[in-house]
Structure 1
Amino acid sequence: MNPYLDLFLTFARVGVCTFGGGYAMLPLLQREVVERRGWATESELMDYYAIGQCTPGVIAVNTSTFIGYKTRGIRGAVCATAGMIFPSLVIISVIAAFIAQFAHMEAVQHAFAGIRLAVCALVLRSVYKMSRNGVVDLLTGALLLATFCAVAFAGLSPVLMIVLSGAVGILAGLVRRRRI
């Protein structure tokens, strides 16, 4: 198969499951990109996800762009990004055309409630997998807990916490290097 078509179709398969956004897609991305295709390691995928979180735009689209670029350069980035957004474009267009006629129906409201729960489960799975690979010592565990509390309970900006956590990581690396 053409490698560019393969990138497009792979990310289109992931993109069709966009309910819940980028975090809900992490298990699907991990399976497709790491396990099935070998386009990235789990560690690289986490790095792409972290960078995608810090850059403007949708995290799943940013991540697909990074992976496409890594595997096939600029054309690969374009194909992967197009694959990721194409299903959303089609789904949103169809939903927008009919949502006003069906949103009030009890069955549709229950379906959306069920979808929200499934998305929560996917996000929790993503958090579990990412923390398994990201928490490597006491400092990273403390950073995870502090960042969660700061964002969830103190209402601090996630972007601020990402920048602060990155700074702490850099400082910790410098301190470790001086001790050795």
Structure 2
Amino acid sequence: MASYWQIFISFFKIGSFTLGGGYAMIPLIQQEVVDKKGWLKENEFVEMMAIAQSAPGPIALNTAIFVGYKARGIKGVIFSSLGTILPSFIVILLIAIIFTDFKNNPGVERVFKGIRPAVVALIAAPLYKMGKSAGVTRKTIIFPVIAALLVWLLNLSPIYIIIAAILGGLLYGKITHKL
């Protein structure tokens, strides 16, 4: 069983060394809680990610809450949440203190532009792995690709994509249950 401090340190470490937000944290969380610590099984992690994405709030925090609860109950939630939140809070506080001196520095701008491709890769890797675990095939991968292209190229609101996906899922369910 995980101790409260193990939970805190795991999530603090993940939060400290991940750039790009919650989705970039997913592969590190998965590696830590499934592969290294064994707090969750692979299928539990995939199911938990579906719930974490559906729940309101940041996905990294939602994930930390689910893992903390699974590992140690309500107190585990507190330790995992604090471990996830504190690194960002500390970094933002430091940036707010010193950023006014560097905000127009071209070197700083170039560093942030250089980080972007790495962040995309950090987000794409766990999506691919989770897709394989969830049984996503080459036929079904076309739907998220089309959705991403519609949002990107046509500036279509993701809300319309979600509504279309809900309606499509309902229609598909009706058709397959009639057969």
Deviation digits for residues 95-150 of structure 1, max 9, x if unmatched? 11111101222221121112222111211212222222223457754554454455
Equivalenced residue count is 178
Q: Pick closer, same or farther for the CA change 1:146–1:116 going to 2, 3 Å.
A: closer
Counterpart for residue 157 of structure 1: 158
* Aligned partners of 1:52 and 1:63 also within 8 Å: yes
Counterpart for residue 87 of structure 2: 87
Structure 1 stretch 5-14 or stretch 150-159: which is displaced more? 150-159
Structure 1 stretch 98-107 or stretch 148-157: which is displaced more? 148-157
Counterpart for residue 112 of structure 1: 112
Secondary structure in 1 aligned to 2:96?
Answer: helix
Counterpart for residue 132 of structure 1: 132
* Aligned partners of 1:134 and 1:140 also within 8 Å: no
Q: What are the ranges of 5 or more consecutive residues in structure 2 without an aligned counterpart?
A: none
Alignment of 1:19-168 (within 5 A): 19-137=19-137, 140-141=140-141, 143-145=143-145, 147-149=147-149, 151-153=151-153, 155-157=156-158, 161=162, 164=165, 168=169
In structure 1, C-alpha distance between the alignment counterparts of 2:69 and 2:100, rounded to whole Å: 39
| RMSD value, Cα | 3.1
* Aligned partners of 1:54 and 1:159 also within 8 Å: no
TM-score, normalized by length of structure 1?
Answer: 0.81
Query: How far off its partner does 1:87 sit?
Result: 0.6
Give the residue type in structure 1 aligned to 2:9.
Answer: L
- What percent of counterpart residues are identical? 36
Secondary structure in 1 aligned to 2:39?
Answer: coil
Structure 1 stretch 47-56 or stretch 127-136: which is displaced more? 127-136
Give the residue type in structure 2 aligned to 1:115.
Answer: I
In structure 2, C-alpha distance between the alignment counterparts of 1:45 and 1:166, rounded to whole Å: 27
TM-score, normalized by length of structure 2?
Answer: 0.81
